Amino acid sequence: MKRRVRGFGLVEIMLALALGLVMSHALMQIFISSKNTYLSQSSAAGLQEDARFVLSKVVQEVRLAGMAGCLATVRDASAGGQFSTVARTPVEWDAQQQSLTLMTAGVGQGGSWHNWEIHTDCLSSATAWTRGRAPRLAEGEMMLPIHKQVYRFNPGRSELALNGQPLISNVRAFSVLFGVAEGVGKPGIARYTDQPDPTLIRSVRLTLTLFDPADRTQEQTFNVVAAIRNRLE
């Protein structure tokens, strides 16, 4: 006597296909969610790294703003007296142009690009020369490179430029505030303003907002405060 062999019915097949589709859809959603999370985290990390690079560079230069070597008085032998003109305002923020101008010392940068050179013996003489016009160092003298850095935010291009060259893209906003003291002889910060008296500046607060052009993560705003090491007088 032969045993009857039974297969799957149409209803069973349809049910199996439906369950398979549901499971495939669930697995696909998990994959998509994991991928989106990875892209979002990678984008956020990229914004943080860009902000860290830019802000750390500006902070270093802010801390060196106004530094003119070992002596308080520097003789200006630069072309057209440009050194003295810039030295009067080594840190300046133009709110309308959205530009930050810094006059900083290039300590540790050797023969890198700079605008001026200060030749000093750190005892009795210090002279500022235009780069390329300075004489050879005299015996006992050292050279301190000084450069002028201009950071400008271009809202139309969403970029922050340094001396006319793009530095970082995808910038939503860039702003600067100065922490000022109540008086010339007081070290503490009484308030923040964008139009300070240079003699009262004690710190600089930088704010940078970056965005992801692919919209994979939210905008991120970064704030950092740099103390002024050289009194701006």
Residue 152 lies in a domain: yes
What stretches in the chain show pLDDT beneath 50?
A: 109-111
* Per-residue confidence (pLDDT) for residue 23, from 0 to 100: 83
For the chain, the domain total comes to 1
* Per-residue confidence (pLDDT) for residue 34, from 0 to 100: 77
Residue 72 lies in a domain: yes
Mind listing the pLDDT tens digit for each residue in 72-115? Answer: 889 999 999 999 988 888 899 999 999 999 998 875 544 467 89
* Per-residue confidence (pLDDT) for residue 18, from 0 to 100: 81
Residue 177 lies in a domain: yes
Instruction: Give which of 111, 156, 157 is closest to 137, Cα–Cα.
Output: 111
Residue 185 lies in a domain: yes
**Which residue is listed with tokens 């020369």?**
129
* Per-residue confidence (pLDDT) for residue 109, from 0 to 100: 47
Residue 1 lies in a domain: no
* Per-residue confidence (pLDDT) for residue 191, from 0 to 100: 92
Residue 2 lies in a domain: no
Residue 24 lies in a domain: yes
Instruction: Give which of 199, 83, 229 is closest to 146, Cα–Cα.
Output: 83
* Host domain of residue 48: 10-34+41-227
The two structure tokens encoding residue 30: 């998990």
Residue 120 lies in a domain: yes
How would you class 100 by CB atoms within 10 Å of its CB: exposed for 0-12, middle for 13-18, buried for 19 or more?
A: buried
DSSP of 69-96: -SSS--EE-SGGGHHHHHHT-SEEEETT
